[in-house]
Structure 1
């Protein structure tokens, strides 16, 4: 029996590859398995090679595997592009329709299965993916009934006949594959899972759920890959709690609408990717100057310009810290799992209101769109903190005196009111202003307001700014990452430690203000520090050097080809650095 299964389906975009992976994943999730899936897709609506790779295990998994056990191919390109990943026990199931050919150096057996023919005989070639699911069931020695609830859920609205046809397609695919395999049936069977119910979601879903739990009632956004699912999810869910989503004409409008809604007292936010964030920079500065809360989700993707809009990259880091003109305080949070994305999103809204500044939730394409098993969220941990929001203002001593909205305070946080609060009238402007909001260019006032705004960062309340695995007091290496690299680093660390090396791991969840003291302690325990990041210039490594130092210790492992890190890549690179 296998302790881990890596399964991939591939073909041309638009022919059901995503739904095939979804049906397989949902069924395995309901059996209690842990899963991690990553979808490679082209930046076009239809056509171009796409595949969905899913790792299945009875224990926790948070990374794409280095190798592959089962490859389901709907065209020859899928075989040619992916066969080199196949493990020693790998197998290819290919649609007989395209007369599949195995490359000369491919050791894995290829089975030509009549996916399309069986589906067409049942009424439509569209059901070829269900035939492929049935063939997979044969390999794993699964009963067809495992897929019944999933088929009911996906096709139930189309009627019982459609449900029955899809289940028949699974049954026939299973039967045909049994005949082709002979005594090899069940050779790829997995160890049994615990059967517990867990969620299975993409990171964007976790962010959207976190926003709901945080009390968000308005989102303004413009569609963009890979952020659109946040908006799409909330379009369905926010109206159920009295909220709304507005699709704006551009990202400039989205950011300024979110600022305006927050000014009116409604927890609001927006979400985008690198190109959209570039357009939002002036609005981010407006949030900082007017001290209005603003939460923005940046789902990083390959750049610059349109770049690689459907591929993995982590190259927005410097832009998020230093992209605005002038100087404002801001907070940048970088969750590394779907679970962290949920809880960190709630923290982001609390911090934005407590400190009255922009907070950026930084994710990446792998985290945003990669689908993973998540334990049920603990809503007892959810805490709503609105900061210094005043709803009862004392009458001023002087008639018609303005409320000191930007009062210079010891902690840098001024009292905040929403429109309509009696005696709370004040100016709001994007130019420098005095304590009441009236424009002022006086040098002494400018210095006082700048210093006040930046004092806020000293009061940040962020739990666990670094996820750390520190098994060794005197480590050979500390491997550092952010966002979705966590799973691959964790698996590489386990392998390296098993080989007798002493390796610790730190995943940075709070990028700015940087957790200097926490990182310094971790770096002091290691001879070398290796920063793993999906960019060319080593942006996180440079931020660490700026904040912590350790230039002689820090080196980088960079990947910028649009694909995520695999555990084996990190393992190999770290071993090379230790020679």
Structure 2
């Protein structure tokens, strides 16, 4: 019996690799197992190697596993590219159609199963992925009936006959592997799960759901990997709540439309990735100077330019903080789990309205597209706070004057009205302006308005700006990360502690304004600090040096090949520091 399993299916993009993993994972999720799935896919629409690696566990997991138990291969390329992940007792289940060859430098067992042939005999070769699920079930000694509900949900619209044929394909794959292999296939039976019901979702879906819960009723966006799922989710859900999604002609239009809707009083969202954020930059500056509450999601991917559209990277960090020309107040938050992606996105709309500035929710490809088990979300934790939005009738302004929309206040936040509010008329312009919004180039006014805008973000109220797991007062090592590196770091810490090294962990969730006061005591008390991030220059490490100091302690551990960190990589790199 095993309490954890790592399973991967691979082949050419367009062969049903994603649906194979989806059906396998959903069925096991419903049995109560915790899952973490990560897709490696090409930037091409069809063709090119793709795989889906799924980790199944009786306890919570938040990272890709180091090794592999079962590899399901639809072509030889899948074996050649992925076999080194298999441990010595691993199993390769390969389609007999391509006469699979096992590399000499692996002890894993290879079994050729005629996925395509069996599927073709049942009516269509397209069902070879169902045959593969059946073969996997044989190795795991799973009851194939656990897949019936999932198959019916996915194929039910096509009729009972299609459902029955797919279940027949699963059964055929199971029987072939059990019978034809004459009992030689090793069994990897999973310990029984707790049977609890959990959601199984990607980070992008959690972001979209968080936006809905946070009162978002308008989204303007242009499709881009890996952010498009947010728009696709809201296209399905927003109309039922009286909201709208507009797919714009470009990223600039998306951002300016969201600004217009937000100015009108609607909680508005736009979402993109690095190239799209580059195009939105000027408009973000407009939101900053006009003090319009705008929420932007950036799902980071490999850059620069088109770069690696379908691969992991953390290279947008400095850009999200500093990219606008001129200086504006801005809030950047970085969730590290799917649950945080939900709650943080909902909270982003409160922050945007309370501080009347752009709020960026910074995600990454691994978090946005990685699919994992999620405990039931608590919607009672979500509240709506609209800051200084004026809701009561305004007094008449003498001499038909203008409302002081940009009034200089002690906390830097001015009263805000929406168009059409009686006695709330004011100018709105992208040039520097006085309290009523009228353009002004006065030096004194410029200083007053700049100081006012930046006072807003001097004391940001954000729940858990730094997630801390710090049991040691005098740690040998402090590991710092952000976004999806959390899972690999948490898993690595246990291994590092076994080496006799005392480890604390800090995960930065409020990236800007930087949480100096939260990090300073942890960094001061640690002998060494390792900063884990997916970029070449160590952007988070540099931010820490800028805002906290102690540069001599800080060591950059970076990875920028397009792949997420694995737990053993964090372990080995941290161990090298001692």
Give TM class, smaller chain. Answer: over 0.9
* Structure 1 contact 411–459 (Cα < 8 Å) conserved: no
1:83 and 2:115 aligned: no
Q: List structure 1 runs of 4+ shifted beyond 2 angstroms.
A: 180-186, 391-397
1:221-244 CA-partner distances (Å, limit 9, x unpaired): 000000000000000000111111
1:77-116 aligned within 5 A: 77-116=77-116
Alignment of 1:179-328 (within 5 A): 179-183=179-183, 187-328=187-328
The Cα of 1:3 is off from its aligned counterpart by 1.4
Q: Are 1:525 and 2:528 counterparts?
A: no
Post-superposition shift, 1:472? 1.2
**Structure 2: stretches of 5+ with no match in the other structure:** none
SS at match of 2:457: helix
Aligned partner of 1:143 in structure 2 is 143
Aligned length: 578
Aligned to 1:171: 171
The 1-side partners of 2:156 and 2:99 are apart by 34
Residues in 2 aligned to 1:406 and 1:50: alpha-carbon distance in whole angstroms = 52
The residue number in structure 2 matching 1:431 is 431
Q: Structure 2 length as normaliser, TM-score?
A: 0.99
Single out whichever of 318-327 and 392-401 deviates more from structure 2: 392-401
8 Å Cα contact 1:76-1:98 kept in structure 2: yes
TM-superposed CA distance for 1:347, in Å, is 1.2
Measure, in 1, the Cα distance between the counterparts of 2:203 and 2:248. 23
Aligned-pair CA distance for 1:500: 2.2
In 2, are the aligned partners of 1:32 and 1:194 still within 8 Å (CA)?
Answer: yes
For residues 200-240 of structure 1, the C-alpha deviation after alignment (integer angstroms, 9 at most, x for no partner) is 00000000000000011100000000000000000000011
Match for residue 38 of structure 2?
A: 38
1:166-194 CA distances to partner (integer Å, 9 max, x unpaired)?
00000000000102444456721111100
Q: Please name the residue that 1:575 is paired with.
A: 575
CA RMSD of aligned residues (A): 0.9
Instruction: Give the Cα–Cα distance (whole angstroms) in 2 for the partners of residues 71 and 186 of structure 1.
Output: 14
Deviation at 1:524, TM superposition (A): 1.9
Q: Is the 8 A contact 1:312 1:563 kept in 2?
A: yes
Cα displacement (A) at 1:458:
1.9
The answer (yes or no) to whether the contact 2:89–2:109 under 8 Å persists in 1 is no
Q: Which residue of 2 aligns with 1:515?
A: 515
Counterparts of 1:488 and 1:462 in 2: how far apart (Å)? Answer: 25
Measured in 1, the distance between the counterparts of 2:280 and 2:225 equals 16
Q: Say which SS state the counterpart of residue 475 (structure 1) adopts.
A: coil
Equivalent residue, structure 2, for 1:549: 549
| 1:481 match | 481
Distance 2:244 2:90 in 1: 48
Residue equivalent to 1:134: 134
Say if 2:421 is the partner of 1:421.
yes
Tell me the distance in 2 between the aligned counterparts of 1:143 and 1:97.
26
- The whole-number CA distance in structure 2 between the counterparts of 1:217 and 1:398 is 36
Structure 2 Cα separation of the partners of residues 156 and 486 of structure 1 = 38
Contact 1:406/1:414 (8 A) holds in 2: yes
Query: Per the alignment, do residues 327 and 58 of structure 1 end up closer, same or farther by CA in structure 2, a change over 3 Å counting?
Result: same
Residue 525 of structure 1 deviates from its aligned partner by: 2.4
TM-score normalised by structure 1 residue count: 0.99
Q: CA deviation at 1:394?
A: 3.2
SS in 1 for 2:91: strand
Query: Tell me, what secondary structure is at the counterpart of 1:315?
Result: coil
Look up the SS of the partner of 2:527 in the other structure.
Answer: strand
Partner residue in 2 for 1:355? 355
Q: Alignment partner of 1:457: what SS?
A: coil
SS in 1 for 2:479: strand
Distance (whole Å) between structure 1 residues aligned to residue 149 and residue 500 of structure 2: 46
* Contact residue 141 and residue 189 of structure 1 kept, 8 A: yes
Q: Deviations over 1:527-565 (max 9, x none)?
A: 000000000000000000110001011011000000000
For 1:33 and 1:184, the matched residues in 2 are separated by 27
Distance in 1 of aligned mates of 2:392 and 2:447: 30
| Other-structure match for 1:442 | 442
